[in-house]
Chains A and B, each alone.
Chain A
Amino acid sequence: MKGKFTNVGIVIVSHSPLVAKGTADMVRQMVGDRVPLSWCGGNPEGGLGTNAAGILAAIEAAWSDHGVAVFVDLGGAETNSEMAIEMLGEPRSRLVAICNSPLVEGAVIAAAEASGGAPLAKVVATAEELSPS
């Protein structure tokens, strides 16, 4: 799988499986399969919550050697995503960034940027422009 994609990957993390999947659907509608995409929503039982192991698997599934941008909703999603990224280990962890942006808008605009071949820093910056600072 490694190196298969030349575009930055997108990972959606939400406390809700429905929100995560729905957001991923919206991204997919926008960019088709030109961007590696995966999502993780909810706790391991499928209820509302977060799940570091699931986030790690989602990052693996959307892996691109050009980097992966992760979009999160509330605090626990961010903290668990940080842990998952650390567990990837160096040097791959350096290729993954958590975007400080609204989940849906951020993921869609980032994916649009990524589908044009933009590097990770540009993909992240474009999404973060949406953030109220």
Chain B
Amino acid sequence: MQTDRALILGLIEACHDAITIHADDLCELDRAIGDGDHGTNMRRGCEAVYLDRERLCCLALPQAIELIGVALVMSVGGAAGPLYGTLLIELGRRLSILENEGDFALIFGEAIEAVARRGRAGAGDKTLLDVLYPIQAEIMRRSTLINIAKRAVLSAELTADMKAMRGRASFLGDRSVGHIDPGASSCAHLTTAICRYLEEYRPA
């Protein structure tokens, strides 16, 4: 069993790399239906977490997740900062209360509900929730990491068919249809990076 230290460092690096690689694409998606800053904002957040990695990796995993959430709130901005921040803060807090006894799928579901409340959004509104809910469903049915990642990518693509109901993209009404939601896209990239990391480094 690897220590939390290696796991935390690995996850931080995997997410940081995924956002660095895709930052320009995320800005491009956001330019089409928003203000064009999603990639820049996410990169700023991942950079802040990455620079703090030596402190974060000394913590227990749940506490590290919560503090990464706080760091994202304080650095990302836009709607993404509070949404990703809420997801991780709620997830970390719940995991630390339950330690290893709780059912991760249920805890993850509760954290997603907190994100929905924060964004006053639901399924089908063309937000990162349209990736989070399907991921949660996959975890619930104990899918493999590869299938979870595939579902995340597919779910992000499906947001192209949706009309934006929240955020700046909603100002475009029907014209938001035909474009992938940038938040859903970053969520899919992060999920893929996390799943790939866990797949490679899963304890024997």
* Alpha-carbon separation in the docked complex, A83 to B154 (Å): 30
In contact, B82 and A49 (Cβ under 8 angstroms) = no
What is B's interface to A at a CB cutoff of 8 Å? Answer: 35, 37, 41, 44, 70, 73-75, 77-79, 81-83, 85-86, 118-119, 166-168
Which one, A43, A44, A51, A79, contacts B79 given CB within 8 A?
A: A79
What is A's interface to B at a CB cutoff of 8 Å? Answer: 15, 43-44, 47-53, 74-76, 79-80, 82-83, 87
Residues of A within 8 A of B85 (CB): 52, 83
Residues of B within 8 A of A44 (CB): 44, 75, 77
Q: Is the interface of B mostly helix, strand, loop or mixed?
A: helix
Q: Given A76-B167, A82-B82, list of 11 further CB < 8 A pairs?
A: A43-B77, A44-B44, A44-B77, A48-B37, A49-B77, A50-B78, A52-B77, A79-B118, A79-B119, A80-B77, A83-B82
In contact, B74 and A82 (Cβ under 8 angstroms) = no
Known: A43-B41, A75-B168, A82-B118. A52 touches B79 (CB 8 A): no
* Alpha-carbon separation in the docked complex, A46 to B162 (Å): 33
Most chain B CB within 10 A, of A75, A82, A87, is at: A75
* Alpha-carbon separation in the docked complex, A87 to B70 (Å): 9
In contact, B75 and A75 (Cβ under 8 angstroms) = no
Closest to A84 in B: B73
24 A-B contacts, Cβ less than 8 Å apart? A15-B35, A43-B37, A43-B44, A48-B37, A49-B35, A49-B41, A49-B77, A50-B77, A50-B78, A52-B74, A52-B85, A74-B168, A75-B79, A76-B77, A76-B79, A79-B83, A80-B78, A80-B81, A80-B82, A82-B118, A83-B73, A83-B85, A83-B86, A87-B73
Q: Quote the shortest CB–CB distance from B136 to chain A (angstroms).
A: 22
In contact, B37 and A49 (Cβ under 8 angstroms) = yes
Q: Quote the shortest CB–CB distance from A81 to chain B (angstroms).
A: 9
* Alpha-carbon separation in the docked complex, A44 to B81 (Å): 13
Closest to A83 in B: B82
Residues of B within 8 A of A53 (CB): 74-75
Residues of A within 8 A of B37 (CB): 43, 47-49
Q: Name the 10 nearest CB pairs between A and B, nearest first.
A: A79-B82, A53-B74, A83-B82, A50-B77, A76-B78, A49-B77, A76-B79, A43-B77, A52-B73, A83-B73
Closest to B119 in A: A79
Q: Quote the shortest CB–CB distance from B46 to chain A (angstroms).
A: 14
Residues of A within 8 A of B167 (CB): 75-76
In contact, B81 and A83 (Cβ under 8 angstroms) = yes
In contact, A52 and B82 (Cβ under 8 angstroms) = yes
